[in-house]
Structure 1
Amino acid sequence: MDYLAIALSLVAVLVALYYFTTRNHNLFKKHGIVHGPPSPLFGNMGSLIKRQITLLDLVIKTYQLDPKAKYVGFYEFLTPVIVLRDLDLIKAVTMKNVEHFPDHRSLVNTKVDPMLGGMLFMLNGDQWKDHRNMLSPTFTSSKIKTMFKLMSECASRFAEHLSNLREEQREMEMKGLLAKYTNDVIASCVYNVSVDSVKEPNNVFYVYGRMSTSWATFKKSVVVLIHRNVPWLAELLQLKVVDSHIAKFFHDLVAETVETRQRTGAYRPDMLQLFMENNKKREPGKEMTVQEMANHAFGFFFGGFDAIASQTSIMAHLLAENPDVQERLQQEIDETLKNNNGELTYEAMHEMKYLDAVINETLRLYPIAAFIDRMCVKDFELPPARLGDKPFTIKAGMNVWIPVGAIHQDPKYYETPLKFDPDRFYENKTITNSGAFLPFGLGPRICIGNRFALTEMKVLLCHVLAKCSIKLAPRTITPLQLEKGVFNVTGRNGFWLAIEPRKSSDCFSTVSATAVSCN
């Protein structure tokens, strides 16, 4: 046996493997751009893959590599990414030069997950522009107002359940509980399906929602990373983010609803109805197809089910940790109800300044997305990262990150940035208009569902806090700690909190109830 030949072959394989897993890792060194030392294959993602860090903390750590730089480098596995630090540069990329950066980098392989790939967030180029124009009328303030009553019905039922819990049932994991509310809202407002997931936790909407939208498991996060970074492998192994039978269920539901309404003329103030009405205004041949309606409807389900449950769970935890903030918010809710004959109206809710401040401060500390991205489609020259450096040209096909979570926690923009302080947003438009507050993104690709999401959270908080108080519980981990190594924002060991009925809970009425006074 020729051991030398075997040894040389093995060395050749290892060298080839090393080259393959590091072939793009010299770009930033070559151009003098500050970056963390990459490891073979993983680049700068190793600590996340090893479950040593949260995605938010990884983004912050990268952002802090050089406080004086306008941008730094990051390797998402083999892919070099420019992480922007300068607010003017962020505006230049997301707004002033949007023709150079119009798209997101693909998150899934559309051949494997066609419904997920057909969501508005995943679309690029002219296809995205066309569909954004078709969907924008669905999310105006007037249209959200038509869905307010549907949300309120879900929230009222949910708050009633919490206020009537027996004492031994009051400690609970909030995210799993709140996902039942977000499920019911989306089922009602998007699909015209009325479900009560608290009483019927095995309903198909809730079960399929948990299966398809939660990336809070390490396994699901790895599948998404493979889709994003090795799409050919996802296709080869048919690694689906959303199972085929779930995609079929949501498509068939939309198809049947649309067919029934077209045949009978039935009407309901939900998103499918708005899609159909918008189609009537389109030129023949340019209407939204049933498949496209199904894709976008699922997109709102996918985007809202877990994300809003996570965000509201964080808010509940912060309110429990800060009872003075919770009490002040409850006072505003009580006063609003008293001034509106015990009813929560859309207009009255949007006049609640402290409610806005609490939600904005939560979104600042723990944004829904730790970063947002843009894909370069035409070469673009960045100014020097630091004084004395040379400009850097972002080539078509390169990815740019806007580190939302890191900017939100930068003391340059926020005094005592790690403190939960809603007063920084109370009657203060300076922060929200400063360019340093980016909870839903920036520019033309800002999240189209932000009004819907904010209204959904506000309605829930008003109904629940009018009837209940949120307290720390024996299983609460404080201060808040997030799960490491996953994409979804979720608490380590969950969000365990306790619910206590308020003595003055009789001050609240449902939308249709007669007015009552608040004590």
Structure 2
Amino acid sequence: MDYLSIVLSLVTVFVAFYYFTTRNHNLFKKHGIVHVPPTPLFGNMGSFARRQITMLDLIVKTYQLDPKAKYIGFYEFLTPIIVLRDLDLIKAVTMKNLEQFSDHRPLVNRKVDPMLGGALFMLNGDQWKDHRNMLSPSFTSSKIKTMFKLMSECASRFAEHLSNLPEEQRETEMKSLLTKYTNDVIASCVYNVSIDSVKEPNNVFYVYGRISTTMATFKRSLLFLVHRNAPWLAELLQLKVVDSHIAKFFYDQVAETVETRQRTGTRRSDILQLFMDSNKKRESGKEMTVQDMANHAFSFFFGGFDTVASQTCIVAHLLAENPDVQERVQQEIDETLENNNGELTYEAMHGMKYLDAVINETLRLYPIALFIDRLCVKDFELPPARPGDKPFTVKAGMNIWVPVIAIHQDSKYYENPLKFDPGRFYENNKTITNSGVYMPFGLGPRMCIGNRFALTEIKVLLCHVLAKCSIKLAPRTITPLQFEKGVFNVTGKNGFWLAIEPRKSSYCFSTVSASAVSCS
């Protein structure tokens, strides 16, 4: 046996592998940009991949490397990232220079996952512009209002379930419960399907939704990291995020509904109807196809099933930790119902300033999007990161991050930033939300198109639940709030365990009219 040949072959493979996994890791050192020295293959993601740190803490830690720098270098495995710290640069990238930063870096390989890859968030260039223009009219406040009754029916049914839990079941893992609510809302408001997932937890929408949409596990996070950083490997191994049979199920739901409505002329106040109505106003050849509608409808499932449930869990946890805040929210809900003849209307709900402040403060502390990304499509010169440094040209194809969570928790912009204080939004809501340092749904033309839908979905649920129940800390509650390490989404360590207690004096809502009468 020729041992020398074997040794030389192994050395060659090792050198080739080392070169492949470090070939981009000299960029920031070469240009004198502050960064943590990367490790081969992992870059600066090693501690995250080893499940030693949360994504939240990793972003904050990177942001704090140099408080005087306008931007920091970061390596997401093999990919160099510019992390912006300067607000003027953030506005320049997300708002003023859309031509250079019009795209997101692909979250999935579209060849492997065509339905998810066809969602608005994933589209780039002119295709994104066309679809954004088609979808925007469907997500105005007036259009969301038409779906309020559908949401309210789901929220009323859910609150009724919670208020009637046997005493031994009142300590509950909120995430598993709340995904049933978000599933029912999306099924009703998007797919024209009425489901009660609490009573029927094995319904196909809920089962397929859990399989396809969750990002709150280590395995799923790794899957998305492969799609983002090695799309060729995802294609080679056919690592699907959404299984083909599940994608077909959701496509068939849309295709059958559209065909039935076109044939019979029936209408319903849901998102598919808004898509169809939008098509009628467009020139021939520029309409959404059924496949486009299916892709965008599924994007609501993907974007809302898990993340809205997680966000609502965090609100519930903070209310349990701060009973004085919860009591004030309940008082506002009670007064609103009393002043509106017991009816929870869209306008009355959005008039609740303190409820709005609580949700805004929760989104500040723990935003849905921990960072915003932009993909450079045309070379763009950044000013020197620090005095005495040289300008840096962001080349086409490079990625930029806006560290939302770190800015939201920066004492430079928020007094006592780690404290949960809804009062800051109650007193200065518009000042803060228009300041450029509050961005839970993104910034600029590419901010989340579904933000009104998500906020309404959370508010209507809280109104119904808190009118009937109080949320308490439970023996299994981890406080202060801690999060799972090694996963992308902000998800509670060992779940979100809380206790639900019926209020002694509450309101009974009608699932038909969303009206309410006082109950003892």
TM-score range, shorter chain: over 0.9
In the alignment, structure 1 residue 452 sits paired with structure 2 residue 447: no
Deviation string, structure 1 residues 36-91 (Cα, Å, up to 9, x no partner): 11000010011110000111111111101111100000001111000000111100
| Deviates further, 425-434 or 21-30 | 425-434
Tell me the alpha carbon deviations over residues 249-297 of structure 1, each in whole angstroms, 9 at most, x when there is no partner. 0000100000000000011000000111111001011111000000000
Q: Does 1:491 align with 2:489?
A: no
Instruction: Give 2:63's aligned residue.
Output: 63
Aligned pairs, how many?
519
Q: Tell me, in whole angstroms, the C-alpha distance in 2 between the residues paired with 1:21 and 1:130.
A: 38
2:14 corresponds in structure 1 to 14
CA contact (8 A) 2:311 2:368 kept: yes
> Matched residue of 1:191: which SS?
coil
Paired position in structure 1 for 2:3: 3
Counterpart position of 1:255 = 255
Matching residue's letter, 1:438:
M
For normalisation by structure 2, the TM-score amounts to 0.98
Give the deviation of 1:148 after TM superposition. 0.3
Q: Aligned-pair distance for 1:487?
A: 1.4
Moved over 6 A (4+): none
Match of 2:174 in 1: 174
Partner of 1:115: 115
Unaligned runs of 5+ in 1: none
Determine helix, strand or coil for the equivalent of 1:426.
Answer: helix
In 2, Cα distance between equivalents of 1:515 and 1:329: 17
Question: What's the CA shift string for 1:293-314, capped at 9, x where partnerless?
Answer: 0000000111000010000001
Unmatched 5+ stretches in structure 2: none
* Alpha carbons of structure 1 residues 167 and 248: separation in structure 2 relative to 1, 3 Å: same
1:34-49 maps to which residues of 2 (within 5 A)?
34-49=34-49
Q: Is the 8 A contact 1:371 1:401 kept in 2?
A: yes
Alignment of 1:186-225 (within 5 A): 186-225=186-225
Distance 1:211 1:11 in 2: 42
1:400 partner SS: strand
* Aligned residues of 1:72 and 1:83 also touching (Cα < 8 A): yes
SS in 1 for 2:374: strand
Cα displacement (A) at 1:507: 6.2
Question: Closer, same or farther in 2 for the Cα pair 1:239/1:354, shift >3 Å?
Answer: same
Which deviations, in whole Å up to 9, do the C-alpha atoms of 1:464-489 show, x marking residues without a partner? 00000000011111111111101122
- Note if contact 1:336-1:348 (Cα within 8 Å) is conserved in structure 2: yes
CA contact (8 A) 1:353 1:427 kept: no
Cross-structure match for 1:500: 501
Match of 1:82, SS?
Answer: strand
The Cα offsets for residues 223-268 of structure 1, whole Å up to 9 and x where unpaired, read as 1111111111111111000111110000001000000000000110
What residue is the counterpart of 1:378 in the other structure?
378
**1:324-339 alignment runs, 5 A limit:** 324-339=324-339
Query: Which residue of the partner structure matches residue 432 of structure 2?
Result: 431
Equivalent residue number for residue 231 of structure 1: 231
Which secondary structure state, in structure 1, belongs to the residue aligned with residue 393 of structure 2? strand
> Matched residue of 2:133: which SS?
helix
Distance 1:403 1:314, change over 3 A: same
Q: Which amino acid aligns with 2:324?
A: D
Residue number in structure 1 paired with 2:418: 418
Mapped to 2, the partners of 1:299 and 1:44 lie a distance apart of 30
1:371-428 per-residue CA deviation (whole Å, 9 max, x = no partner) reads 1100000000000000111100000000000000110011111111111111111131
Aligned partners of 2:74 and 2:82 also within 8 Å = yes
Q: Which residue of 2 aligns with 1:314?
A: 314
| Conservation of the 8 A alpha-carbon contact between 1:342 and 1:507 | no
Aligned mates of 1:37, 1:132 — CA distance in 2: 39
| Displacement after TM superposition at 1:3 (Å) | 3.5
Question: Can you list the C-alpha shifts for 1:408-457, whole angstroms capped at 9, x where unaligned?
Answer: 01111111111111111113122111111000000000100000000000
1:443 corresponding residue in structure 2: 444
TM-score of the aligned structures, taking structure 1 as reference length: 0.98
The code of the aligned residue for 1:445 comes to R
Question: Secondary structure of the equivalent of 2:415?
Answer: coil
Question: How far apart are residue 7 of structure 1 and its match?
Answer: 2.8
Aligned partner of 1:357 in structure 2 is: 357
Matched, 1:99 2:90: no
Is 1:469 the counterpart of 2:470? The answer is: yes
2: distance between equivalents of 1:513 and 1:192? Answer: 19
Amino acid at match of 1:76: E
Identity across aligned pairs (percent)?
A: 86
1:72–1:85 CA contact under 8 A, matched in 2:
yes
Q: Give the AA of the match of 2:346.
A: Y
Alpha carbons 2:163, 2:469 under 8 Å: kept: yes
Distance in 1 (CA, whole Å) between partners of 2:158 and 2:311 is: 17
Work out whether residues 184 and 195 of structure 2, in 8 Å CA contact, stay in contact via their aligned partners in 1.
Answer: yes
Structure-2 separation of matches of 1:247 and 1:70:
43
Does the C-alpha gap of structure 1 residues 379 and 32 become closer, same or farther in structure 2, counting only changes over 3 Å?
Answer: same
SS at match of 1:374: strand
Tell me the SS of whatever aligns to 1:66: coil
- Tell me the amino acid that sits aligned with residue 197 of structure 1: S
1-structure distance, mates of 2:514, 2:155: 14
After alignment, is 421-430 or 79-88 more displaced?
Answer: 421-430
Provide the C-alpha distance between the structure 2 equivalents of 1:360 and 1:73, rounded to a whole number of angstroms.
Answer: 30
Q: State the distance in 2 between where 1:6 and 1:511 align.
A: 76
Structure 1 residues 513, 57: closer, same or farther in 2, change over 3 A? Answer: closer
User: For 1:108, what is the secondary structure of its paired residue?
Assistant: coil
Confirm or deny: 8 A CA contact 1:341 1:517 kept in the other structure.
no
Q: State the Cα distance separating 1:13 from its structure 2 match.
A: 2.2
1:517 deviation in Å? 4.7
Distance 1:271 1:166 in 2: 36
Question: What root-mean-square deviation, in Å, do the aligned CA atoms of Structure 1 and Structure 2 show?
Answer: 1.2
